[in-house]
Structure 1
Amino acid sequence: MTMDPYKVLGLTNDASIDDVIKAYRQLAKKYHPDLAKNEEEKLYLSSIFQDITNAYNQIKNSHQKTQNVFTTQIDSDYAKYLIFKAENFLNKNEIDNALNTLKILQKNHENAKIYFLFAKAYMAKGYYKQAIDYFRKTLEQENYNVDALLGLANCYEKIGLKNTAKKVYKEILEWEPNNKIALNRLNEFEKKQTLIEKLLSGFGSKKNKKATP
């Protein structure tokens, strides 16, 4: 028997998407398998964690279909056409054309979708600070937009803000604990940090030996 996803998250069916996100994050932290003290407990937590993740995804996907979460509703068919054109230009790597189209669109419409496309375009051109600004604008309206968070973290890496990028990747794992990109990037950071520590440790040892009479 399929369980009501709202009940799985301890919510009523009239809960807002923000309530759903909040409940999921709290439960994901409480029942994460990494908290297990033994294999039996890990299996138990993994089962619960999977149930709450499935419930969250079911509600999120339903919400996206019915209310178009990713983008604020745009009334103008022409605006929708311009968004389609901008996305098409980005897919063909015609970045300047995409930006020109978005600037026309921005005169009358501003929403998370448009901000996100601006961010992607500026990131593709290597204008990382502008991209960061637009990723932030996207996240102001859709703080759970994982694609925007990934783009933001990537930009921070590009401009050398590694620690800030790490914080964003960790935030992504709060929304999607199994996000492969975030997990891989954090793993790379850990490997580099370990290597640096070994090199410094070895350098320190050699220095001490030379100093010994």
Structure 2
Amino acid sequence: MIENILVVDDEQTITDLIEIYLKNENYNVTKLYSGQDALAYIEHEKVDLAILDIMLPDMNGFTVCQRIRENHHFPVIMLTAKDEETDKITGLTLGADDYMTKPFRPLEMVARVKAQLRRYKKYQPMSKPDEGIISYSGLVMNVNTHECWLNEATLSLTPTEFSILRMLCENKGKVVSSEQLFHSIWGNEYYNKNNNTITVHIRHLREKMNDSVEHPKWIRTIWGVGYKIEK
């Protein structure tokens, strides 16, 4: 099945460049230039991944991302015009799965798109095909539908948050490093020790699960090593 990629940016040169490289990889590409058009499109058409610029003419990309996450779970990659740490953290906190800073290398953009789609549609770490449910101390995860419940209440997770929590649960009792999480989920090589993507996703997971760093009920930080869920 050919994946459908939505590209939202008011700079046509950017959308045209992204389209060329993604079509070369046999993806379907739809280009839109405003947040309102993107939100209307998403409600009526199938989208497998969105590439979303922060600076749009009618609303900012953060608002669009937040609206997407109200009803949809496909991966979102945000484009930032500056290498602003605040923008990156805000985007990840509101539900984005990854970010790229303009100007970006087109081949790296393609690699990140592939990694997100692979994780979202095909990533099945360390579980057998018939193991569709993960259940642990009040936490229930349906890996086939990407639904999650905590103490019988629905836990609304982004695809990346779901994958991180799933991997920690499947390795409960073991420490999983940020690098292991990064490579297992994204499946590429652009990780470095200064990359705080995993940290932000872990923090957001804790907020949704009413967990804390000081007195963790779920995700425990092993300083200098990684994270684990106790057995």
How high is the TM-score relative to the length of structure 1?
0.28
**Structure with max Cα Rg:** 1
More helix by share: 1
| Larger RCO, structures 1/2 (Cα 8 Å, 6+ apart) | 2
